[in-house]
Amino acid sequence: FGTGNLVGIRITSPSGVNYSTAIEYPVLGSTARQVTVQNPEAGIWRLEVRGARGLTAAPQASSPIQVASPGPVNGNVVQVKYILPNIPDIIDHPQRTEIEAALKNRVLDTYANGSFSPNQIVTREDLARALVLNAPLRQSIGATPKFADVSGDLLRIAEAVTAKGSTLRDYNFVPNGMMSFSGNSFNPNGSVNRLDLAVALVRALGHDAQARSLANSTVTFNGTALSDNAQIPPALRGYVQIAINNNLFEAFPAEVIQIAPGQFQALPGPRFEPNTTVSRATLAVKLNAYRQLFVTGS
């Protein structure tokens, strides 16, 4: 087959997670096959080389599970180490691993002074800049500025993330922008809540039409209606449902929390908490999940 490649690669992590080459068909014109794993877990991995099924193969003629004749397969294992600088304010943070992954994958950055400020509440400017960094956008340049409360590079960023059909993942220019606005105000210092972020990321993934089709529905988790459905605007419930279904967001279980010494509060579940503000640590977690969904086309 000349320079073609009739094999596929599958690797299995110590915990049983499989990673494989992207396509199952023979590669013509190249001998290259590769699998990339971000932040691989420690332990012993298993590597398998399997036959790739051709487009016109007879049944079982090129089955990837049949035994083939012995033969050498040349390959390389390449490890790229990424060493982060010392970030003092995340050392003892419970989401340190997720924050470091976000920094390694460049979905977020530290501030100029080297801090991350994990517990700082995300502003609308923060979210807009994160969307420009992580979502393919159509550039939107109006004849006159759309917003009166932003300037500099943020003016174009704000226009891009609020323009109709702003994300390239949606091919028909139908959805509204990934972020909402009122009149000629972008409100860059306003805080971002879980609902804001869910809507933005679901639209960035190109699922706007599906989300709209679920408007006025009851959001569920594992078949149980969310206890705070009434707090989610009916028109936006589809976005929350898709975010939950794709593990982009969690639904919190019923629980009892301590609010003061000797004082406890029972919280119902499952619940989404749409009005809860988002910290930079939480944004890192959600952008990591978004990135995984985006690169796999989910």
DSSP 155-179: HHHHHHHHSTT-BTTSTTS-S--SS
Give residue 52's pLDDT. Answer: 62
Same domain, 230 and 127: yes
Give per-residue burial for 45-59: e unless 16+ CB within 10 Å, then b. eeeeebbbbeeeeee
Model confidence at 55, in pLDDT bands (50, 70, 90)? very low
Q: State whether the Cα torsion 211-214-220-221 is positive or negative.
A: negative
CA atoms within 13 A on the CB side of 94: 3
Q: Rounded to the nearest 5 degrees, what angle is found at the Cα of 221, between the Cα atoms of 219 and 119? A: 90
- 274 plus 151 within the same structural domain: yes
Distance CA 73, CA 13 (A): 21
| Domain span including residue 286 | 88-295
My answer on whether 68 and 115 are in the same domain is no
State the pLDDT at residue 141.
72
CB-CB neighbours of 10 under 10 Å: 15
Q: Distance between CA atoms of 287 and 99, rounded to whole angstroms? A: 10
The reply to whether 185 and 38 lie within a common domain is no
- Is the backbone of residue 130 left (phi > 0), alpha (psi -120 to 50) or beta? alpha
Residues facing 121 on adjacent strands: 279
Mean predicted confidence (pLDDT) in 199-209:
94
Q: pLDDT tens across 99-127, in order?
A: 999 999 899 999 999 999 999 999 999 99
Q: What pLDDT band is residue 192 in, cutting at 50, 70 and 90?
A: very high
Cα 65 to chain centroid, rounded: 33
* The 3-state secondary structure of 181-249, one letter per residue: CECCECCCCCECEHHHHHHHHHHHCCCHHHHHHCCCCCCEECCEECCCHHHCCHHHHHHHHHHHHCCCC
Question: Does residue 244 share a domain with residue 101?
Answer: yes
Confidence of residue 161 (pLDDT cuts 50, 70, 90): very high
Residues 138 and 39 in one domain: no
**Whether 284 and 162 share a structural domain:** yes
Mean of pLDDT values over 57-79? 65
Confidence class for position 58, pLDDT limits 50, 70, 90 = very low
Q: 202 near 210, Cβ under 8 Å?
A: no
Residue 287 has pLDDT above 60, yes or no: yes
Q: What is the mean pLDDT of the chain?
A: 87
**136 and 16 co-located in one domain:** no
DSSP 3-state assignment of 64? coil
Q: Are 122 and 259 in a shared domain?
A: yes
- pLDDT at position 1 is 37
Q: Are residues 57 and 157 in the same domain?
A: no
User: Can you tell me the mean pLDDT for 138-149?
Assistant: 84
pLDDT at 218 over 90: yes
174 versus 151: which is more confidently predicted?
151
Instruction: Say which range, 46-60, 193-207, 242-256, has the weakest mean pLDDT.
Output: 46-60
| Residues 185, 170 share a domain | yes
Last residue of a domain, one of 81, 96, 131: 81
Q: What would the mean pLDDT of 210-223 be, rounded to a whole number? A: 96
Look at residues 81, 116, 145 and tell me which one is the last residue of a structural domain.
Answer: 81
**Number of domains into which the chain is organized:** 2
Which residue among 81, 109, 136 closes a domain? 81
Same-domain check for residues 62 and 14: yes
